[in-house]
Amino acid sequence: MAGNAGGLTLSNYAKSRYVAMVSHRPVEKGARMDLKDHIRSIPDFPKPGILFYDISTLLAHPQAWQATVDRLADAVRPHQPDLLVGIESRGFLVAAPLAYALRSGFAMVRKRGKLPGKTVRFTYDLEYGTDTIEIQEDAIAPGQRVIVVDDLIATGGTTEAAINLITQRGGTVVGAACIIELTFLNGRSRIPVPVTSMVSYDS
């Protein structure tokens, strides 16, 4: 996408030659926006050999971002969540507006030492070593129906850990949701609840 014919240019993402725009052209009846058109890929980030799927361009495009939140809300609403828990940090960007759309509460899972007040920790295994996440002690009420939200599910380890932490606090995790799923890593196989994703990549 380039230029600004028929729209207002918002940001110019030079690395991928992506220009986020607000289109004033009518959308064809029955047409469905392809969200992948608004997700850029950045090679060798954050380290060589990694292809990073960047949602910055999706967030910068008002129509694409609204479509993303609307579709996630439609998919998650049947689970009737009381609370959406976002995983640090891009998960917050997804969970907060989604909770607003669903009239649900919102809570944060963060890395150790990032949340104020009394917190509860959960430590989980990585390929090399361990990691620890926390949630505020009073964030989950017993019996609350919870959806865990992140921007992307890869191996599924952090989502699985968040589910375990929430369950320990008495919450009932009824699903997990994300924008991007890397299906070639088979992360959903370790997530013990239904997973909703908006787009998937098989490589």
Per-residue pLDDT tens over the stretch 148-170:
999 999 999 999 999 999 999 99
Q: Which residues of the chain have pLDDT under 50?
A: 1-29
Catalytic residue among 40, 90, 169, 188: 90
CATH assignment, 65-201: 3.40.50.2020
What pLDDT is recorded for position 30? 56
Q: How far apart are CA 148 and CA 91, in angstroms?
A: 9
Record the pTM: 0.86
DSSP class per residue in 24-61: -SPPPTT----GGGG-EEEET-SSTT-EEEE-HHHHH-
103 tagged catalytic: no
Pairing, β 195-201 against β 51-54? unpaired
What pLDDT is recorded for position 11? 42
Catalytic residue among 25, 28, 32, 127: 127
What pLDDT is recorded for position 126? 85
What pLDDT is recorded for position 31? 72
End-to-end CA distance of the chain: 23
77 tagged catalytic: no
Q: How far apart are CA 175 and CA 146, in angstroms?
A: 7
Chain segment 85-115, per-residue pLDDT in tens: 999 999 999 999 999 999 999 999 999 999 9
What pLDDT is recorded for position 136? 98
Domain range annotation of the chain: 7-29+39-60, 65-201
Q: How far apart are CA 108 and CA 89, in angstroms?
A: 9
What pLDDT is recorded for position 36? 97
